[in-house]
Each structure stands twice: as C-alpha cells, then as structure tokens.
Structure 1
Amino acid sequence: MPIFDSTFIILIPAMLISLWAQMKVKSAFYKYSKVRSINGYTGAQVARMILDAEGLYDVPVQHIGGNLTDHYDPRARVMRLSEDVYGSTSIAAIGVAAHETGHAIQHQKEYAPLQIRGAIVPLVNFSSNASWVIFFLGFILGIPSLVNIGVYLFSAVVIFQLITLPVEFDASNRALKILSQRGILYGDEIKGAKSVLTAAAMTYVAAALMAISQLIRLLALSSRDE
C-alpha cells in the first residue's frame, strides 16, 4: 500500500501549515487566557447573555471536559463550553464563548453554509474512512472503478472542509461585532479576542488545505494505475 511513496511530498506544505496553525492557536489562547476582561464576565455568562439577547432562551449552556472542546450542537440545540472557557473571565474565554454563540445564531437564522454542512455530515462521516479503504483496495487489485469511487468519496471531505470556512469566519465576525456593540469587551480587549479567533480560524484553513492536498495525492496515485 503506497502510503509513503513519492506522492507523500504533496502533503508536506499542508502538514507544516497545520503544525503552524496549531501552535498559533495554542499560543494566542494561552496569551489571552491570562488577561482578565474589564467587566469580569465568565465565558458561560457571556454565552448566556448573547443567547438571551437573540431570543435563544431555550439553548442551555453546559460545561464539558477537555481543552478547547467548545462547540454548539445544532441537533441538541446545546452550547457546550470547556473547562478553560466556561468559568474563565479571560479575553480568550469570552472570545471563544462568543464564537460558539455565533454558530447558534447561524442556526437560528438558517445560515445556508451551516445548513449545507449539517446536511452532508452523514456522508462525510462515511466517506472520510471508506474512501481510503475503497481507493487502496482498487489500487492494489487494479480495479479503476474502485479507485474512482474512492476519489469521489474523498471529494465530499474536501467539500465539507471548504464549506466549513465561511461557517467559522462568519461565526467569528458575528462574535466580535456583538462583543463590541454590547460593550462586553473594549478596545484592546476586542483586538485580543480577534487574535484568538483569527488563530483558531487558521486551523480550519489548514484542514482545508490538507484535504485538498490529500485529494491531489489520490489523483496522482490514480493516474499511475491507468
């Protein structure tokens, strides 16, 4: 199975960017997790405040374990905030909490990219693993039709990652606008929150680049089998 053949070099730029993005988000979050906001609101309080202001009274804010595991679950209509965000009064925590409420607002307003992403999740969950199995099975057995099916299935992963980009950038833009308009953060605090959210957004850009690179590699491998 040609996992580490010459086409592996196609992945190196995306791997380096992914590593850089992970380091960037950890650095930015750590830096601003040490800076307490002037108003002293916790991440959970900010999430509740914004949700209520948007009429989302029925969306609970829950505490979960893990590090940066924060997310809005559109199926359960639940906001889940991690240990470092839920009870923290830092600029980083408030920025992340506001970002997740941005997703809840997207859901409420039926933001198209979010709806499309949600609709293809079952397909992506299947294709992300099955695509590789089918592709390499076809590659090893010399069955072009299976190779092509593998490529088509992995294309769904690429589409998912690309759709994720506007979803995440829009959520961050909504968050920063709300934080400023409602006076939750001020001046340099907004800049700090923006730094954290911009760094986080880069991890999604890196994920999209990795998916595209993987697809290009599959295409390169499939051309050998022709």
Structure 2
Amino acid sequence: MMPIFDPMYVVFLAPAFILMMWAQARIRSTYAKASQVPARLSGAAAARHILDQFGLHDVAIEPIRGHLTDHYDPRHRVLRLSEGVYDGRNAAAIGIAAHEAGHALQHAEHYGPLVIRNMAVPAAQYGPGWFMAFFVLGMFIPVYFSQFFWIGIIGFMAVAAFQLVNLPVEFDASNRAKRLLAETGISDEQSGPALSSVLNAAAWTYVAGTLQSVLVVAYYIMRFGGRGNDN
C-alpha cells in the first residue's frame, strides 16, 4: 500500500502487526484444542438447529473448501461452512457454526450495525484502490497533490469505518452463539468453555484488523497530509 519504503510506516503499523500475529497464533491454538473436545452435534447440525428454532428454514447450509473460510452470504441467504466445521463434531466446529448462524439471525432481524456494514462493503472493497488512484494522480500533478490526497484518503477512512462497524457485528454474533448453544443444550460444561475460547480468540483478529485500518489512515495523514502546503 506504500509507494516507497518508509521505516515510519513499519513503526506506525507495528502494534497492529504484532496484535494480528498474536491473535492468529491464539486462534490456531484454541481451535486445535477445542477440536479435541467432543460435541453432541456436527457444526452443520448445530447451525441447522439454531436456524430452524428461529424459523429460518429457508437459509441453506453448504460446505465450502478451505480452513476457517466460514461465512454467511446475506445476498443468497446461505451459510457456508468449511469442511472441518461442517462435519466436525467438536466444540470448535459448533462454536464457529453457531457464530455464522448468528449472522443469519442478525440479517433476519435487520440488526442495525449489520445493515450499515453491508451497505459499506463496496466502500471497503474499493476504498484502497480509490486512495491509490488519487495518490498517484497527486504525485503526477504536484500542484494539486493536497486536494487529490484528501479526496483519496476518504477511501482509507471508509475501510476504517467499515472495520469499526464490523466490531459490534462480530461480537454480537459470538455472544449469540454462546447463549444459543447453551440454551439449546448443544454445548455443555465440557464444550462450553472450549468454544468460548475459540470465539474470544477470533474476536481479537477483528480488533487487530480495525487497528490496522485506523493506523494506516493516521500514517498517511501524518506523512503526506501537509505536503501540499510545502509545495
């Protein structure tokens, strides 16, 4: 994302990089441990039970290749679970499956933060490209660099805003998963703490992603925000 190497960029982003590495290591560790804790149902069966309990019989559940590629597709109303989660009969599988089912419940309830997040998806997807286009344009036309830069920085601000809105969405889905699995009896005293550990570890990856986006915006503003005045 940088046109040239700048040690200050590394300094700015170091907290986010460290947090992300720690979060990824933690989720790998907790997932491996929770995968050894047996559960009454498979991930797919647990998600189906939760969805049916709330009348979401039309939400399909499909297996998808990959590791931890699980997600809910609101456009097609499909909950896609990675193969290990779909077939797995362990605490990790039911925890992740219930988390994604939580997103389907949010969608059905028109949960405010989720509605905002879904509206912000295009901005988050194209924001970095928007910024780089205007940044490069400003480099070629230095006299207008400041104007192009501030137009472009809106792109990265959109990504940071998306990440900030995404935090309550993910935390709510995890809290729903813990509560619903306990209420339905799918989780018990043995699997409950294990699946909570997996969901808590996953939450830190969202925090790290948000921190990274905010720090990228802060770096570019610090590094280039006053350049137009210098010219």
Task: Say yes or no: TM over 0.5.
Answer: yes
Deviations 1:84-123 (A, max 9, x none): 1000001000000000000000000000000000011112
In the alignment, what sits opposite 1:5? 6
Would you say 1:214 and 2:216 are equivalent positions? Answer: yes
What TM-score results when the alignment is normalised by the length of structure 2? 0.93
The 5 A counterparts of 1:25-44 are 25-37=27-39, 39=40, 41-44=41-44
1:191 positional shift: 1.0
Deviations 1:57-99 (A, max 9, x none): 0001001101100000001100000011000001000000000
In the alignment, what sits opposite 2:148? 146
List alignment gaps of at least 5 residues for structure 1: none
The 5 A counterparts of 1:95-114 are 95-114=95-114
1:31 positional shift: 1.2
The 5 A counterparts of 1:101-140 are 101-139=101-139
What TM-score results when the alignment is normalised by the length of structure 1? 0.95
In the alignment, what sits opposite 2:199? 197
- Cα distance, 1:140–1:23 mapped onto 2, change above 3 Å: farther
2:225 counterpart SS class: helix
AA at the equivalent of 1:183: G
Distance in structure 1 (CA, Å) of the matches to 2:164 and 2:17: 17
1:224 positional shift: 4.5
In the alignment, what sits opposite 2:69? 69
Q: Is the contact made by 1:43 and 1:89 (CA closer than 8 Å) also made in structure 2?
A: yes
1:136 positional shift: 4.0
Would you say 1:78 and 2:99 are equivalent positions? Answer: no
1:129 positional shift: 2.2
Distance in structure 1 (CA, Å) of the matches to 2:33 and 2:130: 40
1:177 pairs with one of 176, 179, 193: 179
Distance in structure 2 (CA, Å) of the matches to 1:175 and 1:210: 27
Distance in structure 2 (CA, Å) of the matches to 1:3 and 1:25: 33
List alignment gaps of at least 5 residues for structure 2: none
Q: Is the contact made by 1:139 and 1:222 (CA closer than 8 Å) also made in structure 2?
A: no
Deviations 1:25-84 (A, max 9, x none): 1111111112212x2x10000011110001000001001101100000001100000011
Q: How many residues align?
A: 224
AA at the equivalent of 1:129: G
> What is the root-mean-square deviation of aligned Cα atoms in Å?
1.3
1:7 positional shift: 2.4
Distance in structure 2 (CA, Å) of the matches to 1:72 and 1:184: 21
1:2 positional shift: 4.8
1:150 counterpart SS class: helix
In the alignment, what sits opposite 2:225? 223
Which shows bigger deviation, 150-159 or 202-211?
A: 150-159
In the alignment, what sits opposite 2:18? 16
Distance in structure 1 (CA, Å) of the matches to 2:210 and 2:49: 33
Which shows bigger deviation, 145-154 or 162-171?
A: 145-154
